[in-house]
Structure 1
Amino acid sequence: MTADAAARSAGATVQDEVLRIVAARTLYDPAQLSLDSDLEGELGIDSIILESILGMLGEYFALDDLLPMGMTTIRELVAAVEAAVGERPEPPEAQAQAADDEWDSRSMKDFLEIRDSDLFAKARAFGAYRRRREQDRLYWYGMPMRSRSANRMRIYDEAEGRERDFLMFASNNYLGLAGHPKVVDAICDATRTYGATHTGSRIIGGTNELHKELERRLAAFKKRPACAVFPGGYSANLGVISGLVRADDALIIDKLNHMSIVDGCKLSGGVRKIFQHNDMADLERVLKHCEGRTLGKLIVVDGVFSMHGDICNLPDIVALARTYGARVLVDDAHATGVLGATGTGTAEHFGLKGQVDLELGTMSKTLAGMGGFVVGDEEVIEYLRFYANSYVFAANIPPGVAAGLIASLEVMESEPERLTRLWENIRTLRDLLTGAGFDLEHTESAILPIVVGDDRKAMEMGRAVRRRGLFCQTVVFPGVSLGDARLRVSVTSEHTPEDLQEAAGIFIEAGRETGVIPAPDAAVPA
C-alpha cells in the first residue's frame, strides 16, 4: 500500500487531502490555508501551479477525467474532487495509445505531472510526442539560422534537410542593430584588445573598463543615477527580486508577467500575490489585503507583455504604489528601444521618468548583445551588487559584448530615424492584419499577436505560414495558457514596405486555409 493510500485508509477526508496536496505544492503550512482564500490573489497560485495541483489530485484520487481549470478557491477544488471521486483512472496503456491516434490532443502541460520512480520517464513520454509533432511539421523550434539577423534570413530546415530563405518576423532585433557595422566592428576590436572573456564574476576578477563604461552609458540613457549589468535579462530578474525581497515581504505581480519574474518571486521566498492582467481594481484589492499582513511590498510588471504586446498601466500602478507604500519594478525587456520618444522605455512613454523605483531590461533584444541590467537609485544598485546572487556568483559578459552594447546605444542616439521607421512599420502591418479580420488583442508595441485559441489550429497556421516562406513564432502552453494559442509576430525597423505587404498576404492566405479567418465570399474579387 502506498503512503497516499495509507493516509486515505486512516480516515482522511477529501478536504484533508486537497489541503495536504495544495500545501505540498505551494509550501504553505496547511493551517495557513483557508477554504475561501482566492487561489491567485491571496495564495499566489498561478495557472501553471494550479495545473500541477490538479494533476496531483487527479492521480491521487484516480480520476478518469481532468479536473476543470476555472476554480478560484480551495473550497471549489474540494467540491470538484468530491463530485469526481469513485471514477476509475484511464489505464496507462490508453494514454500511450494516444500517440498513435490521428490527432494527439495532449498539450505540453500533460507531461509536467507524469509520476514515475524514474525521473526521466516524463522525458521519454514527451520525446515521442515531440517527434510526432516534428514529423507533422507542427513543431519547428530551434531550427539553425545561417545568416545575420535581418528582415530576410536563411534557415536550415532540419526536417527537409535543406536551406530555405524566409521573411523573418520572429526576431527581437527591433531597431536592426544586430548587423550594424559600428556594432560589429566594436565587438571585433574589443575582442582583439581584451580577449574572449575575463572568466570571472563582476566583483571578483571579471570587471573590465568597458563594463563600467557600459553601466554609465545605460544609466545616462535611462536617465537614472546608477546601473548594474547582469549576465542575462532572466538572471537580472532572479537577482534583483530575490536580493530585495524576504519571507515577510509581498511580491505583487501581474498574471501575465514573464517567467523570469515568476521564478524570481519563487526564489525570494516572499509572499506572492497575483492581480488580474492590467486590472487596477484588482491590484488595489491585493494591496489592501497586504496591509498589516506583510512588511515591504514590491509591485513587479512587464512594461510590454511579451506574448500579448500590450503595455502595463504604469501611471495607475505608480499612483497605487504611492498610496499603499509599495515599490515598483518595471521589466522593459520589450520596451527598451521601442517605447518613448527616444526609445528609453515604459517610463518615458508615460512621462514618468524618475518616478519608477527600478527599471530592468535585457540587452539581447533591441540592444543587440547579451546580458541584463537594472537602473535606479545609487544606494539600491550598490546594495544589489552584494546581495543579488546572480550578479555576485556569475561570470560577467565578455568585454567584446560590452563594447558592442556601447556602440548600440550610440547608434540609437545618433540615428533616431530607426525608431520612427519601426513605428511606421508597426502601424502598417497592424492595420493590414486587423483589416483582414485577425484578432491582435490590445497590442501597442512591436509585438503583434495573431490570436487563434486552439493549439492545433495555431500550429497548423504556423505550418501554413512557414510553407509560404515566412517565419514567426507559434506560441502554445507554457508560453501562454491553454486555449490561448497564437502566432507571435515581431516587427522591426528593417522591414521594407514590400516585406510588410508580402507578410500580410501570407498571413491572410494561411489564416483562410486553416479557418482562423473566414474565406472571402466567392463573388467578391480577392
Structure 2
Amino acid sequence: MTHTAEETAADRAAGTPAGTAAGETKDVHRQVVDIIASRTLYDESYLLPESDFEGELGIDSVVFESILETVREHFALAGPLPGGLTTIRELAEAVEEALDAVPGAVSGTAPDAVPGPDGDVLLETLVAQAMHHTRYQRHQLGPDADLESELGIDSVVLTSIVADTADALGLAADVAGGVAATTLRTLAEELRPHLTGTAGAVPVRPEPGADSGTESGAESGAVPPEPYGEDSWDSRSMKDFMEERDPDLFAKTRSFGAYLRRRRRDRLYWYGMPLRSRCGNRAVIFDELTGREREFLMFASNNYLGLANHPKVVEAICEATRTYGATHTGSRFIGGTNTLHKELERRLAAFKQRPACIVYPGGYAANLGAISALVKSYDTLITDKLNHMSILDGGKLSGAERRIYRHNDMADLERVLARCADRPTGRLIVADGVFSMHGDICDLPEIVRLAREYGARVMIDDAHATGVLGRRGSGTAEHFGLKGEVDLELGTMSKTLAGMGGFVVGEEEVVEYLRHYSNSYVFAANIPAGVAAGLIASIDVIESEPERIERLWDNIRLLHGLLTDAGFDLENTRSAILPVVVGDERAAMEMGRAVRARGLYCQTVVFPGVPLGDARLRVSVTCEHTRQDLAEAAGIFVDAAREVGVLPSAG
C-alpha cells in the first residue's frame, strides 16, 4: 500500500507505525499517546509502541506517576494499573484489560473518547503540534477555541506550531510567518492551499464509533486514606498530593496542609527552620515547633570549605555593597552588568581552566538556560537517572527527545547512544559530577570516551564537586585528569563558593551563544555586585589556602570510617556527602527526629528528593568540623538508629 506524505505524517502524529492505516490503530493506544505527549512535550512521532518510558523517552518517576494518574482519570479506571509497565504498548494493553474487566465497558475504547477533529489530517496534525508545544491534552484543544484568549497560545508558540506542522506535512517553510488565524480550524483553512499537489484536498481519517465507555468525569477510583488514630502513622507521602483532582484548584493545598500539620505535631518536620547564627560546625536554630532556639552540631550545610564565614569573603561583600549599592535592578544586557561580574567570569574561567564563563542568577537557572538554549526539539538529551531536578527540568523545557541511562551504568549509556546514533541531530550527555543525594561520582572517563565514539557533547554539573574534588578543588574533570576534555562544566555558587548564582564554563563561542539564547540569563536580573565580590574573594581563599581542601578530606575519611564501622549503609559515596540509607520513610523520619533530639541537625531526605523506599539522612561534612564534632556525630547517629530500630540495640 502506498501512503502519501500527509497520511504518513498524520499516522505518526496519532502514534500509528508507518505503513499502517490510521484507522487500524486502537483508539485506546491513540489516547494513551495523547496523554503521554501532553505530559512530556514530545512530538507524537517519537512515541512508538515499544518506546521504553525511562531508557528511550527519559520519563522519570515523577512524570510517569503523573501520566498514570491522568490515564486512570481519563479512562475512569476503578483501580490502580499494574506495576512494571515499561513501554507504551504495555500501558495501552493494561488499560484495555482494565476496561474489559468492567461490565458494560467496550474493549479497546475509552470513556470520553475524543476522535481526531473531523477526521481532517491537516487539522489533526495542527492539534498534535499544539499538544507538543502547550502540554494540553487533545480534548482541551477545541478546534474553534480562540488561540490567544482561550488557549493562551501567543504568537511565538503559534509560529512554532505552524512551523512543525509545515515540516510534518512537507509544506514550504515560509508558511510559518504572517498567519492571521485565531483558531486551529481557521488556521487549518489558511494553510490548506499550501498543501503541495493536493489542491486543498486533505485525506481524512475514519472516525471511530462514538458510543463507547462511560461518561466523562467518573470517579477515578482513588481510595482516600483511612482515618488514623492518635498513635497511628499517616502512610501517605508527598507523592500523594501531586495529582489530586478537584474543581477547586486549591483543594490539594488543604489536603496537603492537614498532612503537614500532622507531621509537625509529631515533630517529624524540621525543613526550613531559621538559623539565628552563622552556619559553621555549629549553628543556633530557632525551633518553630517549640518556640525555642537551640545550638546544634551542623551537618546540613554545603559550606564545604567554610568560606561563608571567612573574614575576607564577608568584608568583600560589605565593601562592594557600600560602593555599588544593594543591587543593580536590571538584567545583564540592560543595565545589570557591573565590572565585578566581568571579573568574576574571568576568575571562574581561570579557576576551571577553561576559555570563557557565563554567570547565571542561580545554579538551577544555569541548567535550565544552558540545556534549553543548546538542545532543541529535534535533538536528544541523555541523562543519568539520578541527575538533579534542574537538569530534568531543563530537558523538559527544551522539548528535546530525552533518554535516561541507569545510574553510572556505562553499558546502558552506550546502548542509549547506539540507538540514537543514526539521528542526524545533536546529542548532549549531562551528568552530575557528584550526585547530591548519594555522594558518588560520575564515571567521567567512560562518559568522555563514549561521547567521542558516538559524536555527542558532554556537560557535567559540578554543584557539589567544585571546591571538593581535585587537588585545586576545581571539580570532576580535574579529579579524573580530564581538564579540557569536557565540553561544558556547570556549577552553582551557593555551596562551596559561599554566595549565590550559577555558572557554565567552556569554549568562547559556546559561552557567547548561551549568553544570547539562555532565557534564564537574558530575561533575569543577575546577582548583586556585593555577592560577586564575595565570590571572587572565595576563589582567592581557595587558591591561597589549599589546606582547607586537605582538612575537608581528612574529616570525610574519619566520619566515613566511623559510620561504616557502626554498620550504616553509605552506598558508594566518594565526596563530602555521606548518605545514611534507611529505606523506609517512617523509619527515616523517626531517626531524623531522634538525631535532632540529641542536638545534631542534618537533612532527612524523602520523596521527591529520592524515590519512595529510598529514604535517608544526608550528612554534609565541612573542613570546619573538629575531630570531636565528628566523634560526637557518629555517636549520635548510632544511638538514634538503635532507638528507632535502624540498627540493632547494643548487646
- Shorter-chain TM band: over 0.9
SS at match of 1:102: coil
Change (3 A) 1:60 1:317: same
What is residue 87 of structure 2 aligned with on the other side? Answer: 73
Change (3 A) 1:363 1:327: same
Q: Deviations over 1:26-49 (max 9, x none)?
A: 234555422221111211211111
* 1:166 counterpart = 2:282: no
CA displacement at 1:81 relative to structure 2? 3.6
Q: Which of 23, 26, 40 is residue 54 of structure 2 equivalent to?
A: 40
What is residue 545 of structure 2 aligned with on the other side? Answer: 415
Q: Deviations over 1:46-105 (max 9, x none)?
A: 111111112223334444543355322123323444454557978778447469882211
SS at match of 1:340: coil
CA displacement at 1:113 relative to structure 2? 0.7
- Tell whether the 8 Å contact from 2:499 to 2:534 is kept in structure 1 after alignment: yes
Runs (5+) with no aligned partner, structure 1: 1-10
Separation in 2, partners of 1:246, 1:73: 24
SS at match of 1:178: helix
Change (3 A) 1:65 1:160: farther
* 1:381 counterpart = 2:517: no
What is residue 51 of structure 1 aligned with on the other side? Answer: 65
| Structure with larger Rg | 2
Q: Deviations over 1:168-202 (max 9, x none)?
A: 00000000000000000110111111111111111
- Tell whether the 8 Å contact from 2:318 to 2:530 is kept in structure 1 after alignment: yes
What is residue 6 of structure 1 aligned with on the other side? Answer: none
Separation in 1, partners of 2:230, 2:243: 21
Change (3 A) 1:68 1:91: closer
What is residue 142 of structure 1 aligned with on the other side? Answer: 272
Q: Deviations over 1:364-420 (max 9, x none)?
A: 000000011111111111111111111111111111101100110001111111000
What is residue 116 of structure 1 aligned with on the other side? Answer: 246
What is residue 438 of structure 1 aligned with on the other side? Answer: 568
CA displacement at 1:12 relative to structure 2? 7.0
Q: Which of 318, 322, 347 is residue 217 of structure 1 equivalent to?
A: 347
Tell which deviates more after alignment, 479-488 or 79-88: 79-88
Q: Deviations over 1:110-146 (max 9, x none)?
A: 1111111222111111111111111111121110000
Q: Which of 589, 600, 621 is residue 491 of structure 1 equivalent to?
A: 621
- Tell whether the 8 Å contact from 1:250 to 1:294 is kept in structure 2 after alignment: no
Runs (5+) with no aligned partner, structure 2: 1-24, 103-217
CA displacement at 1:204 relative to structure 2? 1.4
What is residue 35 of structure 2 aligned with on the other side? Answer: 21
* 1:247 counterpart = 2:261: no
Separation in 1, partners of 2:302, 2:589: 21
* 1:517 counterpart = 2:647: yes
How many residues are aligned here? 511
What is residue 348 of structure 1 aligned with on the other side? Answer: 478
Separation in 1, partners of 2:359, 2:65: 35
What is residue 265 of structure 1 aligned with on the other side? Answer: 395
Change (3 A) 1:350 1:177: same
Q: Which of 619, 627, 635 is residue 505 of structure 1 equivalent to?
A: 635
CA displacement at 1:512 relative to structure 2? 1.0
CA displacement at 1:18 relative to structure 2? 3.1
Change (3 A) 1:122 1:286: same
CA displacement at 1:16 relative to structure 2? 4.5
Percent of pairs with identical residues: 72
Q: Deviations over 1:428-480 (max 9, x none)?
A: 10111111111111000000001111111111110110011100000011101
- Tell whether the 8 Å contact from 1:50 to 1:69 is kept in structure 2 after alignment: no
Separation in 1, partners of 2:44, 2:397: 21
Change (3 A) 1:40 1:65: same
What is residue 7 of structure 1 aligned with on the other side? Answer: none
Separation in 2, partners of 1:401, 1:80: 54
CA displacement at 1:246 relative to structure 2? 1.1
Change (3 A) 1:90 1:262: closer
What is residue 323 of structure 1 aligned with on the other side? Answer: 453
Q: Which of 415, 418, 424 is residue 288 of structure 1 equivalent to?
A: 418
SS at match of 2:309: coil
Separation in 2, partners of 1:485, 1:93: 25
CA displacement at 1:24 relative to structure 2? 2.8
Matched ranges for 1:127-206 at <5 A: 127-206=257-336
What is residue 176 of structure 2 aligned with on the other side? Answer: none
CA displacement at 1:270 relative to structure 2? 1.3
SS at match of 1:452: strand
Higher relative contact order (CA 8 A, sep 6+): 1
- Tell whether the 8 Å contact from 1:298 to 1:327 is kept in structure 2 after alignment: yes
Matched ranges for 1:447-458 at <5 A: 447-458=577-588
Match of 2:588, as an amino acid? A
